Structure 1
Amino acid sequence: MLATPDCPADNQAPQLAQFLYGNVVHNSMKNFSYILFFLLCIQVNGQNPPDRKQFKVDLLTIEKKSKDTLAGSIIEIYSGGKRIETDITDFDGISIFYLNESDIVDKKIRLKIYGLKCKFYESTFSIKEDLKKTIYLQYGQTEYNDPHQIHKMYEKLNIKPKEFHCGTID
């Protein structure tokens, strides 16, 4: 039997089947590669951070002379004459919070800190990136002398305690 381009000989049938199967597998893998690439592009695009920038502010409050860390210091953050955040230091005198770039006027923030048994502290900082500062307070005359006065100070400063949610939110 003679083989023509349109009709292969009987002995060439296995080679033809292998050739066709190879092309099918090759084309399937090629299509799979395109689909996988497309899906990865969608996933990568979905993981872009939001356009709104947040600055991380990391403060450590310490008493200037004794070098004691000051737990329970009340912090108010102002920008453009408006209070934009409040926080309280933990047992190690550390306060970490985030500020939205849109809330900051002229890239400046003003900190007001009421430390336990310490003089009132106020200072202005320029904020162009994350801020990490050690704040040195001095023991002195204050109306915040006892940790049990924290609720009274919150009331005086018109601060609402932050709500913390544990577990899942319904």
Structure 2
Amino acid sequence: MPKKSKSCRESFVTMTEMVLPNDTNTLNNLMGGRLMHWMDIVSAIAAQRHSNRIVVTASVDNISFSKPIQLGNVVTLTAFVTRSFNSSMEVYIEVTAEDVPSGKKIESNRAFFTFVAVDQIGRPIDVPEVSPETELEQELYEGALRRRQLRLVLGKRMNPEDAVELKSIFKMD
């Protein structure tokens, strides 16, 4: 029986937090660990929404902290599943920060998290396929296989020679 397919929109999640003093470092900027915690939550909700299953974090791609988020900013995190494989799902997260009094918004972070859907005893379980609809969703969907292969190669779970999608980027034979 073929796997059911769901649109990216069905997994879309938005989460909003305010940066309070307990969330900041001595420079009054949001601590990176607190932001990663929020990113893990919002992306887990997206993965659960897509799979209708319990999910566990399998990997986190590069999170770079390009612009600091300041005390008092309102942080909006958006996440959705870009592609699913057998039991795993790649989730894309965007983080924006807003200084409400001035109305100034900045894009602060982007990342990809990978989750695995599991049954009640923790065994991986199949998830629905993803059907991208928008141009952004299609672009992220197409790049997901390369990102997956890169994660597997870096995690020593795939030989570089077997990473066909990565080889195509570098025109390797």
Using structure 1 for the length normalisation, give the TM-score. Answer: 0.27
> Whose RCO is larger (CA < 8 A, sep 6+)?
2
- Bigger Rg, which one: 1
Using structure 2 for the length normalisation, give the TM-score. Answer: 0.26
